[in-house]
Chain A
């Protein structure tokens, strides 16, 4: 039996910084529109007019999970690494270990944030559904269980 996992592939070259993805993300997860509480970030370099989309790459062997000293990062039923906020001790080891720099610390709330592919949402990740230019695409992938 295979574990079904997914990954959001990004194409920053078509992004235009409407922030619909980050707004939808924070609205879904936190019930408010707050770019600093989103599980992904869109950043523009104004001088070059270039964009960066920062979002969890859902590594097959998540280094964040391995680095967490308090077992606050676990694989959920879909095989997605998620943060258990009630267990997290805010040490920051996960964010430091992440090779892509996509675990975000929200200072105001003292919380670490990570994409969970909108765990439990039947129609899949909201950011993918709402992106009007296809800069975010869900790639399914199946990995064989060892």
Chain B
């Protein structure tokens, strides 16, 4: 028996209240699941020319064939649609979240949900074993995301799984989250505000069915052989760098996803003042709970000064973390806003529009978080995120502060990430790979960076000689070119493209991007690593898990073709929004002129243009717009998109102006 998918995607029109479903298998052969299926639905159904807050924007929630099974870390969910956080206009992107929601949705009989329209009054969507209905949420509106979940669990049972927005989403804060469980969130893309704009408070699911598995014994064997990995710090500078295999991970770290049997170093428990444990992950977990973490945001170079900010103490951080999740704010806002306010103080600015601030004072910060979520006082100004706040404050504040605000979210409104300057230690060539991703993707290269760049970069940082020698062997095996990760500016497009396709697959099976693909063999210790010749790992575990669950055997070439097609559709969504090569080049190049924080390397605008030329040529995209050529679309079986894209090429007014908002600062 074939397994994996349930076969149904729920369609909900909030305007009319109509609920129906479509067959998942319309998409599975060409798009597998998750983020890839969402890319097709988005291209077909999100209308041209609308903003994220238009009722016609879609909330596309998708799982994949592995969700709900024993495949480790597979309990993930992808949320897609037009994101209100993006700047200067909103476009299509995605956020992924772990937890238990996606699995419960499968157990209730659905692979995904596509939501459109706007409800005339606050509602939540209730799903139980094959049935769905909209329920009045008048009593939940105004409630925080945590209490909303607890309330709905009281109604539907402790095993019900819930997505909910908090006050930040209701008040259309552009970096508001859709929350799940303690600290899972579709965070970065600001989809909480899209829910708020649609009057959708929550989705509550209870399912008592299962997910069919084609080869149960094979799945069991694969999982037992994979074992319980510990994701351990390596060089000490980074937290997600590699995995050591241990029989039993007894360090008692929390998991963020159903079926995760790994012991993840980016997860940690904090303690509330009432003694409750509070689990946290990544920026919201180990980061916020590590003393002096916010010193890591310090940067000085190329005329840019980002001061260190202050951690507030472990207990305070844990409670702030819970508050952040209850209000429904993307915790990343803090990494850009707290240092920005500290810099204001350093430059003698102690109030903005009559509001005083003290970013290193926990009481002020807590109040600021609430003010952001409810759009009060200074919070009202920053609820549209740093880029839009800088537009608002231009001329009122010293030029350096406006420039700094724009630089901190240089990636079209997303905070700097994996770019080797403000955040993350990415030496050459890893930041070049990230730069290519920034210029071509819908969002920051979060995860493509995690496995392809950061984890491998960590070896070079730990011991340059040893790391480089091992990476040459690995590069030969994985990319057929020993120079693929040499610290140069040339020849990096194949790694960037490979990472983007791997990432698309990981988001579509789905699996955790911290744990897969297993590009390296996990050494047990530093000594073992130093003695190792070849680190190359088992890159086909994902395909074996997929085959065990679905009964379908696919080759790497076949799944890469699927990934490329979906990635191309995402690029077409960017073309629809008017993003294009010239604009991407001019907006992004200034950031990469700054010296890299670990090795001081940088690139001038001419060099930046050259790396984009290389990337676009390798993709089969044109050099002028950076959009797929007709030939490439034909190769991928996307002929139906050719006339639309040709029409976009003729409409010059569609294009977002190329001049970067930083240009004014650079010329002065």
Is A108 interfacial (CB-CB < 8 Å)? Answer: yes
Complex-state Cα separation, A129 to B224, whole angstroms? 8
B352 at the interface (CB under 8 A from A): no
A111 to B559, CA, bound (A): 40
Is the pair A23, B259 in contact by a Cβ cutoff of 8 Å? yes
From A20, A26, A46, A106, give the contact of B181 (CB < 8 A).
A46
Residues of B contacting A32 with CB < 8 Å? 3, 210-213, 216
Contact of A133 among B70, B72, B250 (CB under 8 A): B250
Q: Of B273-281, B580-588, B600-608, which binds chain A?
A: B273-281
**Residue A145 at the chain B interface, CB threshold 8 Å:** no
B622 within 8 A of partner (CB): no
Q: Does B249 contact A (CB under 8 A)?
A: yes
User: Which A residues touch B278, using CB under 8 A?
Assistant: 49
Task: Identify which of A33-41, A61-69, A80-88 touches chain B.
Answer: A33-41
Chain B residues whose CB sits within 8 angstroms of the CB of A35 once the complex forms: 107, 159, 210
Inter-chain CA distance A55–B420, complex, in Å, is 49
Which B residues, 624 to 665, have Cβ-Cβ distances below 8 Å to chain A? Answer: none
The reply to whether B209 and A28 contact each other, CB–CB distance below 8 Å, is no
Contacts A27-B220, A33-B68, A48-B276 given; does A43 touch B252 at CB 8 Å: no
Judge whether B208 and A36 touch: CB under 8 Å.
Answer: yes
Q: Which of A20, A46, A106 is the one whose CB lies under 8 Å from B261?
A: A20
* CA distance in complex: A126, B261 (Å): 14
Partner of B254, one of A16, A106, A130: A16
Q: Could you say which residues of chain A place their CB within 8 Å of the CB of B263?
A: 132-133
Binary flags per residue of A70-88, CB closer than 8 Å to B gives 1, else 0: 0000000000000000000
Question: Chain B residues with Cβ under 8 A from A10's Cβ?
Answer: none
List B215-262 residues whose CB lies under 8 Å from chain A: 216, 219-220, 223-224, 228, 248-250, 252-255, 257-262
- Contact B210–A26 (Cβ < 8 Å): yes
Judging by beta carbons under 8 Å apart, are B149 and A46 in contact? yes
**Is B323 engaged at the interface, CB distance under 8 Å to the other chain?**
no
Whether A19 touches B213, Cβ cut-off 8 Å, given contacts A49-B279, A108-B208, is no
| A140 located at the interface, meaning its Cβ lies under 8 Å from any Cβ of chain B in the complex | no
Among A90-109, those with CB < 8 Å from B are 106-108
A122 close to B (CB within 8 Å): no
* Residue in B212, B252, B257 whose Cβ sees the most chain A Cβ within 10 Å: B252
For chain B residues 398-413, which have a beta carbon within 8 Å of chain A?
none
In whole Å, how far is B182's beta carbon from the nearest beta carbon of chain A? 7
Determine if A27 and B70 form an interchain contact, defined as CB atoms under 8 angstroms apart. yes
Interface residue from A17, A23, A132 paired with B70 (Cβ < 8 Å): A23
Contacts of A23 in B (CB 8 A): 69-70, 258-259
Q: Which of B186-216 contact A (CB under 8 A)?
A: 208-213, 216
Give B106 Cβ to nearest chain A Cβ, in Å.
9
**A33, A45, A130, most chain B CB atoms within 10 A:** A33
B284 to chain A, nearest CB (A): 15
Q: How many A residues, CB 8 Å from partner?
A: 35
Separation of A27 and B210 alpha carbons in the complex (Å): 10
The answer to the question of A146 belonging to the interface, with a C-beta cut-off of 8 Å to chain B, is no
Chain A residues with CB under 8 Å of B252's CB are 14, 16, 133
Determine whether the beta carbon of B250 is less than 8 Å from that of A134: yes
Question: Cβ of B158 < 8 Å from any Cβ of A?
Answer: yes
> Is A31 in contact with B209, judged by CB distance below 8 angstroms?
no
A27 touches B219 (CB 8 A): yes
Tell me the complex Cα distance, A46–B159, Å.
Answer: 10
Output the nearest chain A residue to B106 by Cβ-Cβ distance.
A33
Query: B103 to chain A: which residues have CB within 8 Å?
Result: 19
> Within 8 Å CB of A107, what residues of B?
208
State in angstroms the CA–CA spacing of A107 and B129 once bound together: 12
> How far is the CB of A43 from the nearest CB of chain B, in Å?
5
If the complex has contacts A28-B216, A33-B211, are A130 and B261 also in contact, measured as CB distance less than 8 A? yes
Is B220 touching A24 in the complex (CB atoms < 8 A)?
yes
Residues of A near B153 (CB, < 8 A) are 46
CA distance A130 to B259 in the complex (A): 10
CB <8 Å contact, B258 and A34: no
Tell me whether B100 is interfacial, beta carbon within 8 Å.
Answer: yes
A18: which of B129, B211, B258 is its contact (CB, 8 Å)?
Answer: B258
* Whole-angstrom distance between the Cβ of B298 and the nearest chain A Cβ: 33
Check A17–B100 contact: CB distance below 8 A: yes
Q: Mark out the residues of chain A between 114 and 135 whose CB falls within 8 Å of any chain B CB in the assembled complex.
A: 126, 129-130, 132-134
A4 at the interface (CB under 8 A from B): no
Question: Which residues of A lie under 8 Å from residue B3 when comparing CB positions?
Answer: 32
Quick one: which of A49, A126, A133 contacts B249, CB cutoff 8 A? A133
In the complex, the answer to whether A33 meets B210 with C-beta atoms within 8 Å is: yes
Question: At the interface, yes or no: B150 with Cβ under 8 Å from chain A?
Answer: yes
Please determine whether B70 and A20 come into contact, CB atoms closer than 8 angstroms.
yes
Could you tell me if B259 and A20 are in contact, using CB atoms closer than 8 angstroms? Answer: yes
The residues of B that contact A44 with a CB separation of less than 8 Å are 158
| Contact residues, B304-324 vs A (CB, 8 A) | none
Q: Assess A130 versus B213: contact at CB under 8 Å? Given A16-B255, A18-B260, A46-B150.
A: no
CA A35 to CA B209, docked complex, whole Å: 8
CA distance A36 to B109 in the complex (A): 14
- CB <8 Å contact, B220 and A126: yes
Q: Which of A18, A45, A133 contacts B158 (CB 8 A)?
A: A45
Asked whether A130 lies within 8 Å of B223 as measured between CB atoms, the reply is yes
> How far is it, in angstroms, between the C-alpha of A130 and the C-alpha of B253 when the chains are bound?
16
A14 to B253 CA separation, bound complex (whole angstroms): 9
Question: Given B212, B254, B258, which contacts A19 in the complex, CB threshold below 8 Å?
Answer: B258
Residues of chain B within 8 A of A31, CB atoms compared:
213, 216
* A75 to B: closest C-beta gap in Å: 27
What distance in Å separates the Cβ of A123 from its nearest Cβ neighbour in chain B?
9
* A49–B259 alpha-carbon span in the complex (Å): 18
- Residue A1 is within 8 A (CB to CB) of chain B in the complex: no
The interface residues of chain A lying within 8 Å CB-to-CB of B182 are: 46, 49
Contact A130 B212, CB 8 Å, known A14-B252, A24-B70, A45-B158: no
Contacts of A24 in B (CB 8 A): 70, 220, 223
Given A14-B250, A32-B210, 15 other A-B residues pairs in contact with their CB atoms under 8 A: A16-B254, A17-B255, A19-B258, A20-B223, A23-B258, A23-B259, A24-B223, A28-B216, A32-B3, A35-B159, A36-B208, A108-B129, A108-B209, A133-B252, A134-B248
Residues on A lying within 8 angstroms of B by beta carbon are 14, 16-20, 23-24, 26-28, 30-37, 43-49, 106-108, 126, 129-130, 132-134
10 residue pairs, one from A and one from B, having the closest CB atoms: A34-B210, A132-B228, A32-B210, A23-B70, A36-B208, A132-B261, A31-B216, A33-B69, A33-B211, A18-B255
10 sample A-B contacts, Cβ–Cβ < 8 Å, listed by A number: A18-B257, A23-B70, A27-B220, A33-B69, A34-B209, A35-B159, A35-B210, A46-B181, A46-B182, A132-B228
